[in-house]
Each structure stands twice: as C-alpha cells, then as structure tokens.
Structure 1
Amino acid sequence: MKSIAMAFVLLLLAGCASTPTVTTDHDPSAQFGSYKTYYWARKPEGSSPLVTQRIVEGIDARLQSKGWTQEPDGDVALVANISRAQQQSIDTFYSGTGMGGWGYRGWGGMGSATTTVRNYTVGTLVVDMFDTRTKQAVWRGSASGTVPNSPEKVDAAVTAGLDKMFANFPPGS
C-alpha cells in the first residue's frame, strides 16, 4: 500500500512538471500593430543544438503565423536565453498512527517514515523583444519547467511552452 501511494504521488508530481509555467509581459505603450518584421539579435544558447534549433524554428513559425516576417533590419529585435538549474525535492511519507508504543488495548504502535530525494533539472527560456527604433523593451515571455529525460518529451515541453507563450501575442490582438 505504501509503495502504491508513493507511486501515485510521484505520478502527480511528474504530471505537474510536464507543463511549463509561462509568463508574459509587455510595454502597454508599444504599438504592436506597427510591427511587421523582426530579426534575431541573439539566438538562445546553452542547450542541445537540436533543442535550440527547435526553439528558434518554433518562435519563427509562431511569429510568421501572426503575419510577421524575418528581415535583417526588422522592426523588432529578438533576444533569447536558456538557463538550466539543478533542483532537489525531498519528500517524507509517514505510515502508522504516530502515537508511539503506548495505547489502550493494542492501540498505537510505532509509525515509520520513508524519505525520497529527487534530483531534477529545471530549464527556463526567456524571449525578449526590443523596438529597434527606440531601443526599448516591448515584450517578454518566459517558460520554465522540469527538463524531461527523453527527446520526445523535451520536444513536447518546448511546443507546449511556446504555444502558451505566444497564445495571446501580440498583446491587444
């Protein structure tokens, strides 16, 4: 029973970790309707080259689906960064009554505790957009989540993060 409960909790944690946490922010005075072109001032680095390629292609596809085109001197400069950090979670599960070795007519008994340490990697993608005319930041999106172990799950997490990040882009549309 104890192992079933632990497996269930780990499954819940894994399910929560597979969905990236996404936030976006923008300059309310930015005129997104006037932006039609963009260029990459800095592409993301620090991850697998294949993952980086998929991130760039994913952002390009989402911007192009909004009518933006990539040009060397675009209206908006994109800067993307990737970071990875090792994290650790410690979970303790208790069984038994916790009443110790005393009790009335057999009640009580010693409880036990099982502690599980889980090491994992959290990846974060931050995409910033700058108006090339004013040199001011106009938009920021970030996605953060547990980095999966398989390439297929990494691809799914990247897709889910980018989908959420660009769901309401451009602001006010």
Structure 2
Amino acid sequence: MTLAACTSTPTVKTDQASNANFSSYHSYYWAQKPSGVAPLVQQRIVDGIDARLRAKGWTQGQSSGDVALAAHVATSQKQTLDTFYSGTGMGGWGWRGGWAGGGGVGSATTTVHTYDVGTLVLDMFDARTQQAIWRGTASGTVPSSPEKVNEAVEAGLNKMFAEFPAGSATP
C-alpha cells in the first residue's frame, strides 16, 4: 500500500521540550527510519528530512550525532456518509406555518466513502541524555497516485519544518 504522511493540506503539529537548547545541536543520525511504507516513499521522507536538517546547518552521522531521529508512519481507514434526499413525503409549508397535506413517500440515498488517512510522526532525542526534545506530526488523506504522494510528503515536511526549532521561522 502506498502511503503518504499527509495531503496537500496536511494537519501538522510540532512540540519541543522547553529545556532543549537547539543551538547546541549540530549533528544527527537515524535511530529508526519510517517503516510500513513503500521503499520509495520511505526514501522520499528520509531524503526530505535530511535536506531540511542540512538547511539548518546540521550534518548527518552514520550511527552517532547530537540528536537521534525516529520516524513512524501509520495509516487508518476513515469513512464519510453522504445522504441525498429526493422528495420529503411531507408536503410543503402552508400559509400559517404548518405543514400542508402530504402523503407521498420520499427517498434517501446514502453513499459510503472509505479513504485512508496517513500520519507521519518524527521524534528527536538528545543522544547524550536520551530525552525527547522535539516531535512533529503530519496527517492527511493518502493520495492515490505516486505524483500526489510525492507532493503530499513535500507539503507535510515543509509545514513541519517551517519553524524548526520553534521561533526560528524559515524565510
């Protein structure tokens, strides 16, 4: 199953430890890359995160660094119900605010739409203290085409890293 972290309008949330000193972090490594996704999607997520951290001046180590990254991807199915009514079977409004005679039978058609929602969770840990220092989540409807999946991954990561760390808005 192809899955993305989010759609072109993902819901993104970030949080960071109040005592984390991000100016002291300059390197990172992947403790856990995202699993449960197609290999190409996993690589796009990893490459996207790597590029954004490089843009912040961080360097990647193979098995050590100031910060350990752990990413997870999960999907769930959601449903929406759309109901359309044709005729009410109740007649119409009368002049005095009451229902006028009726008697016909109306009908309703309900359609169930099932779709997948994907969520990417990225956690960062201080490698020395092993304490959590930052978390970003991006969630949205999983697109059906590979091109849209790529757009969704980019949109989610752009939004997730827009102010990473908090208070450091990217121009």
* Shared fold (TM-score, shorter chain, > 0.5): yes
> How many Å apart are 1:130 and its aligned residue?
0.1
- The CA distance in 2 between the partners of 1:51 and 1:92, in whole Å, is 35
Aligned to 1:168: 163
Aligned to 1:131: 126
Cα root mean square deviation, aligned: 2.1
Q: Deviations over 1:69-99 (max 9, x none)?
A: 1013210000000111122111212343x36
Superposition TM-score, scaled by structure 1 size: 0.82
Segments of structure 1 that go 5 or more residues without pairing to the other structure are 1-16
Structure 2 CA distance for partners of 1:126 and 1:102, relative to 1, 3 Å: closer
SS in 1 for 2:45: helix
In the alignment, is the contact (CA less than 8 A) between 1:47 and 1:82 conserved in 2? Answer: yes
> How many Å apart are 1:103 and its aligned residue?
7.0
Aligned counterpart in structure 2 of residue 24 of structure 1, from 3, 11, 14: 14
Of structures 1 and 2, the one with the larger relative CO (CA 8 A, separation 6+) is 2
Aligned to 1:77: 68
- The CA distance in 1 between the partners of 2:55 and 2:8, in whole Å, is 25
Alignment of 1:141-156 (within 5 A): 141-156=136-151
Superposition TM-score, scaled by structure 2 size: 0.83
How many matched pairs? 156
Q: 1 or 2, which has the higher helix percentage?
A: 1
Segments of structure 2 that go 5 or more residues without pairing to the other structure are 1-6, 95-99
